[in-house]
């Protein structure tokens, strides 16, 4: 008798690659059912796997499982991984962490997308370095919609002050080498994901507000939702969810 057919689940829990494959597929399935629960098409949502703090073998396992959209927070750590995985075609690296101005050159050179643009100063630097190479860099504007002090992002928690925000955002939209694609947020952590819902709703309202104020760009992307709350974020309109722990396990680095 074939042992594997007696214990069909063992293969998938005993080894790293199998466990990560299962986790990845489960998260994809949860995204799809969350989308269907609000009559959204699951194809409108991309799953980003957040690989910060993980070893190469873990990242290789999730790439083998089919992941091609990877998110990193720190340039030095990311460069090592990019180098190591450079022979695998089709991997897209997105910057999701806070960007220090002095790292803007490296970030603009090595990432295909930056989710965490939160000031005109940073946008100017990314624009300058990207323009020097005659390229375009897609970005999202990171917004703090909760008022939590520890969070980065444009101050967007007070809906009565969104007029001021429009004035802050307008000059970023004029930078020729940056393509503003939408908004990103990171609400406070809540054990109950329902508590994050009002913040996801606020980000979507802000997107609608900006769409009315500016005819271009199209503001199509909403990057929101992490391991603990991505299903709620999908229900509220996320187009990119950023999931680490639920797929790769606890960070080790």
Ligand X SMILES: *Cc1c(COP(=O)(O)O)cnc(C)c1O
SS3 of residue 219 by DSSP: coil
- By beta carbon distance, the residue nearest ligand X is 244
For residues 50 and 154, which CB has a smaller minimum distance to ligand X in the complex?
Answer: 50
Which residues make up the interface to ligand X (CB under 6 A)? 50, 52, 73, 96-97, 186, 226-227, 242-246
- State in angstroms the smallest separation of the CB of 66 from ligand X: 18
- State in angstroms the smallest separation of the CB of 241 from ligand X: 9
For residues 160 and 191, which CB has a smaller minimum distance to ligand X in the complex?
Answer: 191
For residues 174 and 250, which CB has a smaller minimum distance to ligand X in the complex?
Answer: 250
- State in angstroms the smallest separation of the CB of 34 from ligand X: 15
Q: Position of tokens 């990019």?
A: 82
Let me know the angle formed at the C-alpha of 147 by 215 and 194, rounded to the nearest 5 degrees: 90
Helix, strand, coil abundance in the chain, percent, nearest 5: 50, 15, 35
- State in angstroms the smallest separation of the CB of 247 from ligand X: 8
8 Å CB contact between 167 and 109: no
DSSP 61-98: HHHHTT--EEEES-HHHHHHHHHHTTTSTT-EEEE-SP
DSSP 113-170: EEEEE--HHHHHHHHHHHHHTT--EEEEEEEE-S--TT--SEE-S-GGGHHHHHHHHH
- State in angstroms the smallest separation of the CB of 115 from ligand X: 7
For residues 73 and 124, which CB has a smaller minimum distance to ligand X in the complex?
Answer: 73
| Cβ neighbours of 19 (radius 10 Å) | 17
Query: What's the rounded Cα separation, in Å, for the pair 99 and 57?
Result: 26
For residues 50 and 126, which CB has a smaller minimum distance to ligand X in the complex?
Answer: 50
For residues 138 and 211, which CB has a smaller minimum distance to ligand X in the complex?
Answer: 138
- State in angstroms the smallest separation of the CB of 8 from ligand X: 28
| Cβ neighbours of 5 (radius 10 Å) | 7
């Amino acid at each position: 008798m074939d042992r594997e057919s007696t214990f069909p689940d063992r293969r998938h829990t005993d080894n790293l690659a199998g466990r990560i494959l299962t986790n990845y597929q489960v998260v994809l399935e949860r995204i799809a059912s969350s989308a269907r629960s609000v009559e959204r098409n699951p194809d409108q949502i991309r799953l980003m796997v957040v690989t910060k703090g993980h070893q190469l073998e873990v990242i290789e396992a999730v790439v083998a499982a089919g992941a091609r959209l990877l998110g990193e927070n720190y340039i030095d750590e990311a460069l090592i991984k990019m180098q190591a995985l450079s022979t695998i075609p089709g991997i897209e690296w997105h910057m999701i962490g806070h960007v220090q101005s002095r790292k803007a050159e490296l970030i603009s050179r090595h990432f295909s997308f930056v989710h965490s643009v939160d000031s005109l100063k940073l946008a100017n630097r990314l624009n300058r370095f990207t323009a020097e190479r005659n390229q375009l860099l897609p970005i999202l504007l990171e917004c703090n919609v909760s008022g939590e002090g520890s969070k980065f992002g444009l101050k967007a928690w007070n809906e009565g002050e969104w007029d001021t925000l429009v004035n802050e955002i307008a000059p970023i939209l004029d930078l020729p080498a940056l393509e503003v694609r939408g908004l990103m947020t990171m609400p406070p952590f809540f054990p109950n994901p329902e508590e994050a819902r009002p913040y996801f709703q606020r980000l979507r309202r802000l997107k609608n507000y900006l769409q009315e104020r500016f005819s271009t760009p199209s503001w199509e992307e909403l990057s929101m939702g992490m391991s603990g709350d991505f299903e709620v974020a999908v229900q509220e309109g996320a187009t990119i969810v950023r999931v680490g722990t639920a797929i790769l396990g606890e960070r080790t680095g």
